[in-house]
Amino acid sequence: MKDKILGMLLKEQGFVSGQKICETFGVSRTAVWKAVHQLTEDGYQIEAVRNKGYRLIQMPDYLSKKDFVNQLHTDWAGRNIYILDEVDSTNDEAKRLAEGGEGHGTVIIAKKQTAGKGRRGRSFESPMGCGLFMSMIIRDDILPSRASMLTLVMGIAVTKALETLTGLNVQIKWPNDVLAGGKKICGILTEMSMQIECMNYLVIGCGVNVRNESFPEEMKDRATSVLLEGVDLVSYSELAAGILEQFEVYYRMFMRNQDLTEIVDEYNEYLINKNRQVTVLNPKDQYEGLALGINTRGELMVQTRQEVKYVTAGEVSVRGIYGYI
């Protein structure tokens, strides 16, 4: 009952009368009061005013395992979970656990990362309690040559979850950023342990900026958070569960052919690179062209003056995004 009432309070974002709650769920006022009391014990701040009803005014500081499990509706993703106060990086912790034998779908969530990682060894800003820092272990029969596509699978999963839960206009910047308002709100990092032609395991991590009120000077024009985009009532548990639920859906599509055949059209709808001038910088050369979208292999197709090039890796700057004009 408390989850149903919480969902109603989150949706309304204002006072909801006790009578309306009773009528909606067919329960007594006493049952409503008990459910609200349970929510306050879980860390939700709920204002109760006579003749007005109940209003959610603040979410818990962070997620609890109990709250997360109650929100989660998956078959395997996140069914085994570690919630930690602090780690060096959730990806590194996931790799340590994977080396110790932890199984497929195990998830690690941390309130803070002291050495959060982005692509190409960059650091990832991870202050205490401001973001959702989450990594998952994948153990499956995946060809190593196809594994990098899971970065894109996680990208669309995060995008769909954020869009559904916050109502924000969210887009993807290939291959591993999720944007809101043209600024980065999430980064994704996939790392793999393999032998010759065989994947031992894969770790895929995402860091979502949730309650950041500001960013360092060098990042403020490039980064944003759910809070800065005007949404302040977001449950960490609901967001984590939502991402994992969406990931399962798209992962299932991916695994049917181990490619993006079933995802590519929807992915391209969210792709901010598409139909924009981009600059591609890789170890061999640098060139400009018009991004056409991704193909079923997850490659970014770029039309240059001479030909269509298929980008598998490297840095891709988009005109008008992150300061590239």
**Do the annotations mark residue 90 as ligand-binding?**
yes
C-alpha to C-alpha distance for 285 and 283, rounded to whole angstroms: 6
The CB density around residue 291, as the number of other CB atoms within 10 Å, is 23
C-alpha to C-alpha distance for 243 and 70, rounded to whole angstroms: 15
**Do the annotations mark residue 184 as ligand-binding?**
yes
185 close to 225: Cβ distance less than 8 angstroms: yes
Q: What is the DSSP letter of 223?
A: B
How far is CA 248 from each of CA 102, 164, 268, 305, rounded to the nearest angstrom? 18, 16, 19, 39
Burial 187-210 (b: 16+ CB within 10 A, else e): bbbbbbeeeeeebebbbbbbbbbb
C-alpha to C-alpha distance for 72 and 63, rounded to whole angstroms: 12
Strands (E), 76-147: 81-87, 107-113, 131-138
Among 266, 179, 264, residue whose Cα is nearest residue 223: 179
What is the 3-state composition of the chain as percent helix, strand, coil, each rounded to the nearest 5? 30, 30, 40
Token couple for 112: 């803070």
Q: Which residues are annotated as a binding site?
A: 89-91, 113, 184
Q: Binding site membership for biotin: which residues?
A: 89-91, 113, 184
